[in-house]
Structure 1
Amino acid sequence: MSRDEARAGRLANRRVLAVAVVVLILDQLTKRLAVEAVPRGTSEQFLPLIDLVHVRNEGVAFSSFAGQPWIVGLLVVAALAALTWWFLRNRTVRFAWLAAGMLAGGAIGNVLDRIIEGAVIDFLKPPNWPAFNLADMAIVGGMALLVIVVELENRRTTAGQRHDARPQRG
C-alpha cells in the first residue's frame, strides 16, 4: 500500500467515524425531544402529512421479530460486521465513508435505544406508514447511497478494464 493510499484510508476512517457520531447525536437528541414533547401513545400534528408520535418498536424493519431480542441483536451485529468488512475493503471508494457512517450511526442509535429503553423510540408518522426516527432515515439513506456508490464503482472498474483490454496500436 502506498503512502497516499494509507493516508486516504485514514482520512476515510476519520470521516466515517465523524458521520456516525453526528448521526448518533442527532438521533438521540431528536428522540429525547420527541419523548419530552409527546406523551407515549399520543399524536400531535407536526408538519402537513407528518405527525409527532411516541411509540416503541421492539422489532426491526416494520416491527419484524418483535419480542425476539436475540434475533434482533444477531441481525444488527451481523449487519454491522458486514458493513465494517465491506468498508475496510472499499474505504477509498468515493463516498463509501458517507454511506458507511450513515448506516453505522443509524444502527448504533437504534441499538442504544434497545439497550437503554428496551425498544426503539419512533416519533415521525406519515399517513399509511409505520412511525420511524432519524436513525431509520440515516439507515435508509445510507443504504441507498451504498447501492449508488457500489454501482458507480463497478461501472468505473468495468470501464477501466474495457479500456485496458483494447489492443494497442503503435
Structure 2
Amino acid sequence: FVTNTGAAFSLFRNGGVFWLRWLSLLVSLGLMAMAWFGPRFNRWEQVGYGLILGGALGNGIDRFISGYVVDFLDFRLIHFPVFNLADVSINIGIWCLIIATFRIKT
C-alpha cells in the first residue's frame, strides 16, 4: 500500500497534486467527447481509448477524493516502481493504440 501524490512512477510528486487531478478530468472528458462525437474507430482503437478512459477516471476519482492515488502492485524482485490497475489499464490502452497505428488497413 503506497500513496502516490504524483503521476506514473511518482513523477511530479512535489506539487503535482492540484494540476494532475484536473489533467485527469480533462483527459477523461476529451476521451468521452471523442467517443461520442468523433469518427468511427476500429476495434483496437475502441479498446485502447476505453482502457485509457477507465484508467484516467479511476486515478482521477482517487485524486479528487483523497488527493492521491493508491498504488498496491509491487514487484520487488525486479525493482519496478509500485503501480495500480488503473496504470496497467492506461498502458495496455496505449499499446492497443500503437497496434492500431501500425496495423494494415484492409
Normalising TM by the smaller chain, what interval? 0.7 to 0.9
Q: TM-score, normalised by structure 1?
A: 0.52
1:68 maps to which of 8, 11, 16? 16
* Secondary structure of the structure 2 residue equivalent to 1:129: coil
Give runs of ≥4 in structure 1 deviating > 4 Å.
Answer: 84-88
Matched letter for residue 109 of structure 1: G
Structure 1 residues 106-145: aligned runs within 5 Å? 106-127=55-76, 128-145=79-96
Structure 1 residues 14-93: aligned runs within 5 Å? 54-66=1-13, 67-84=15-32, 87=35, 88-93=37-42
Identify unmatched segments of 5+ residues in structure 2: none
| CA deviation vs aligned residue, 1:89-114 (integer Å, no higher than 9, x gap) | 34332332211111111110111111
* Secondary structure of the structure 1 residue equivalent to 2:73: strand
| Number of equivalent positions | 102
1:149 to 1:68, Cα distance in 2 relative to 1, 3 A: same
| CA deviation vs aligned residue, 1:98-147 (integer Å, no higher than 9, x gap) | 11111111110111111222100010101211111111110100111111
| CA deviation vs aligned residue, 1:3-31 (integer Å, no higher than 9, x gap) | xxxxxxxxxxxxxxxxxxxxxxxxxxxxx
| Root-mean-square deviation over aligned CA pairs | 2.1
Please tell me whether the aligned partners of residues 90 and 96 of structure 1 are also in contact (alpha carbons under 8 angstroms).
no
Which of these two proteins has the greater Rg computed from alpha carbons? 1
Does 1 or 2 have the higher relative contact order (CA < 8 Å, sep 6+)? 2
Structure ranking higher in strand proportion: 1
State the identity %.
Answer: 35
Identify unmatched segments of 5+ residues in structure 1: 1-53, 161-170
The whole-number CA distance in structure 2 between the counterparts of 1:124 and 1:150 is 30
Q: TM-score, normalised by structure 2?
A: 0.79
